Amino acid sequence: MRRKGRNKKPLMTNPTRCIVILSLDEQHNEIKAEEAENRQLNRIREFTKQNNLIPVAIVRRGIMGRVVYNRYFSGAIECMRQGKAEVVVCVNMDTIYYGIADAYYRVGLIKEAGFRIFTVDEKEPMMHLYMPPKKGVFTDED
């Protein structure tokens, strides 16, 4: 365990399936990218054991560019919509976005689909997103 002596309650009371996202900024050296992703995976495995999360899929970016990574990210959300997982786990928010607007967009996609995102560093990111109420069908009775 990384931080011994922490006896905090796990984030999830029941075992919950999750998708692990590994990503970093390395774009030229494939070996360095794989080593760094393996270190991220070790941290995430430790986090999932402590918090009753069961990894069902691992998304590795490697040295691929944005377009391929965006395709993988949308594929992960599709897997969640199919019922294969309920949570996305990553090391920190820096690993899944390219800017502030992109961070809100990605977290918004996950929240809009009705799922949760956890990070090893921040637990559940507190991004204040306004979720408008579902609009019903209105009829004019005049």
As a whole number, mean pLDDT of residues 22-44 equals: 84
Taking only the tens place, the pLDDT of each residue in 59-75 is 888 777 788 888 888 88
List, for residues 72-86, the tens digit of each pLDDT value. 888 889 988 998 999
The answer to the question of residue 142 being in a domain is: no
Which is nearest to 56 in space by CA: 33, 85, 24? 85
pLDDT at 130: 59
Does the pLDDT value for residue 23 go beyond 70?
A: yes
Residue 55 in domain: yes
Query: Which band of pLDDT confidence, cut at 50, 70 and 90, is reported for residue 14?
Result: confident
Q: Is residue 77 in a domain? A: yes
Q: Over pLDDT 90: what percentage of the chain?
A: 12
Question: Does residue 125 lie within any of the structural domains?
Answer: no
pLDDT tens-digit map of 87-99: 999 888 877 787 8
Query: What ranges make up the beta strands (E) of 3-142?
Result: 16-22, 53-60, 87-90, 116-119
How many domains does the chain contain in total?
1
Most confident region among 8-12, 47-51, 135-139 by mean pLDDT:
47-51
Q: Evaluate the CA torsion angle 101, 47, 16, 62 in order and state its sign.
A: positive
Q: Given this model, what pLDDT does residue 60 score?
A: 85
Indicate the pTM of the whole model. Answer: 0.75
CATH of the domain at 76: 3.40.50.1390
Any domain includes 132: no
